[in-house]
């Protein structure tokens, strides 16, 4: 491999990129847009659900209970009613998402260990439903501390305790993963079209007639994107810390090393696509075939542990799955990369295989 030729390809690539406004906008625009979208709009842990309260008991304990519910931040009471029927009306009209009904015999029910409170939920939204279920576990946990009258151990005594994200803010879970999602989307796409574009524009016939080798061309072309990937990582991390107070428990170096591993794996994958696709449009379609399973199966959106065995195997083949484990480990649990060696190894192996196949597949021939 000749470094002068390799640099020439890289410089050419950078110069072309500088004049390509859309690509330039994508480099920073996609991370910012995704971060804001995922961080604010797609909020799995709902907060501030509009609620109606019908406290028909109106005792000290019942008022304390309602206060505790409000204190979770999950509901914010908008209306108070005197009968559950009124709440059901408002629920149906969509004015509230949650209704809390404290029956008049609340105290008696508490002592008997019967159902003491009812939470009415708008079940048409599954996210709201699960939020309310969390809420329903709350009263029996906290009543003993309300200093009214101690209860015996009963239902709901087992609370969900969340380490590493005690407030259960989704942003904390989402932002580290988002680094991976953005890198998967942009890196594969950028390099996926890189080789095909030269073919479509007719530059390839010129290039293969020159002494530049497949390896020089491939490596030279993807080199600028490594830097771009690191810029994107920085943008997401900086905004994530600033807007969503996402903690970085582990070392920043490990975060960047993990990002680097994913960048290289994705660039190699993109090149592989590029040697296969016949047009830029085809390359984009193929990118989508990688992107969709990556988002759905990597553990970014749905828990990996809950997937069927076969799906887990497929997920293990995706670079994003391994990155997701590494970055959550490093950023949230404070793990170091050597502790996460199986995923480090998996990404390195993926890169080596994909890059080799891409270079071998690319022939300096027109036939």
Backbone angles phi, psi at 101, to 5 degrees: -115, 120
User: Looking only at residues 10 through 69 of this chain, which bind other proteins when binding is defined by CB under 8 A?
Assistant: 11-12, 15-16, 19-20
Q: Does 338 bind other proteins (CB under 8 A)?
A: no
State which residue, 26 or 69, has the beta carbon closest to other proteins: 26
Pick between residue 201 and residue 245 the one whose CB is nearest to other proteins: 201
One residue of 58, 162, 203, 279 binding other proteins per CB under 8 A: 203
Angstrom distance (rounded) from CA 177 to CA 179: 5
Across the chain, the runs of DSSP E, i.e. the strands, are 49-55, 75-80, 98-102, 118-121
Binder to other proteins among 82, 147, 162, 210 (CB under 8 A)?
Answer: 210
Nearest distance from C-beta of residue 2 to other proteins, angstroms: 7
- For 75, the 3-state DSSP assignment is strand
Query: Which residues 348-367 are close enough to bind other proteins by CB under 8 A?
Result: 364-367
User: Could you give the CA distance from residue 232 to residue 243 in angstroms, rounded to a whole number?
Assistant: 16
Assess 76 for contact with other proteins (CB under 8 A).
no
Q: How far is the CB of 209 from other proteins (least distance, A)?
A: 4
CB of 78 to other proteins, least distance (A): 57
168 in contact with other proteins (CB under 8 A): no
Do residues 269 and 258 lie in contact, with contact meaning Cβ atoms separated by under 8 Å? no
Going from the C-alpha of 6 to that of each of 1, 199, 310, 353, the distances in angstroms are 8, 19, 41, 21
Q: Does 253 bind other proteins (CB under 8 A)?
A: no
What is the rounded distance in angstroms from the CA atom of residue 280 to the CA atom of residue 273?
10
Parallel, antiparallel, or unpaired for β 75-80 and 49-55? Answer: parallel
- How is residue 314 written in tokens? 């497929």
Residues in the interface with other proteins (CB under 8 A) total 27
CB of 208 or CB of 344, closer to other proteins:
208
Closest listed residue to residue 269, CA positions, set 325, 311, 229, 304: 229
Interacting residues with other proteins (CB under 8 A): 2, 4-5, 7-9, 11-12, 15-16, 19-20, 201-206, 208-212, 364-367
């Amino acid at each position: 491999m000749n470094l002068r030729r390799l640099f020439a390809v890289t410089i050419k690539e950078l110069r072309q990129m500088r004049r390509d406004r859309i690509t330039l906008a994508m480099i920073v625009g996609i991370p910012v847009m995704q971060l804001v979208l995922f961080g604010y709009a797609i909020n799995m842990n709902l907060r501030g659900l509009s609620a109606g309260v019908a406290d028909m008991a109106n005792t000290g304990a019942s008022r304390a209970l309602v206060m505790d519910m409000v204190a979770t931040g999950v509901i914010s009471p908008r209306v108070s009613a005197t009968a559950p029927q009124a709440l059901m009306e408002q629920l149906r009209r969509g004015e509230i998402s949650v209704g809390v009904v404290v029956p008049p015999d609340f105290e008696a029910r508490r002592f008997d260990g019967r159902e003491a409170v009812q939470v009415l939920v708008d079940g048409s939204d599954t996210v709201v439903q699960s939020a309310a279920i969390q809420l329903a576990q709350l009263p029996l946990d906290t009543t003993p501390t309300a200093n009214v009258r101690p209860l015996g151990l009963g239902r709901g005594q087992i609370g969900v305790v969340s380490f590493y994200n005690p407030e259960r803010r989704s942003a904390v879970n989402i932002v580290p993963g988002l680094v991976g999602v953005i890198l998967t989307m942009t890196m594969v796409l950028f390099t996926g079209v890189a080789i095909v574009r030269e073919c479509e524009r007719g530059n390839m016939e010129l290039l293969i007639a020159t002494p530049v080798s497949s390896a020089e061309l491939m490596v030279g072309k993807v080199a600028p994107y490594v830097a771009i990937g690191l810029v994107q990582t920085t943008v997401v991390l900086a905004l994530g810390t600033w807007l969503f107070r996402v903690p970085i428990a582990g070392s920043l170096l490990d975060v960047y090393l993990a990002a680097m591993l994913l960048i290289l794996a994705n660039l190699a994958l993109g090149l592989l696509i590029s040697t296969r696709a016949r047009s830029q449009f085809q390359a984009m379609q193929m990118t989508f075939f990688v992107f969709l399973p990556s988002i759905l199966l990597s553990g970014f959106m749905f828990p990996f542990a809950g997937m069927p065995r076969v799906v887990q195997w497929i997920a293990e083949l995706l670079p994003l799955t391994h990155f997701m484990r590494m970055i959550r480990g490093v950023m949230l649990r404070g793990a170091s990369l050597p502790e996460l060696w199986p995923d480090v190894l998996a990404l390195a192996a993926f890169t080596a295989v994909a890059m080799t196949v891409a270079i071998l597949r690319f022939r300096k021939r027109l036939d």
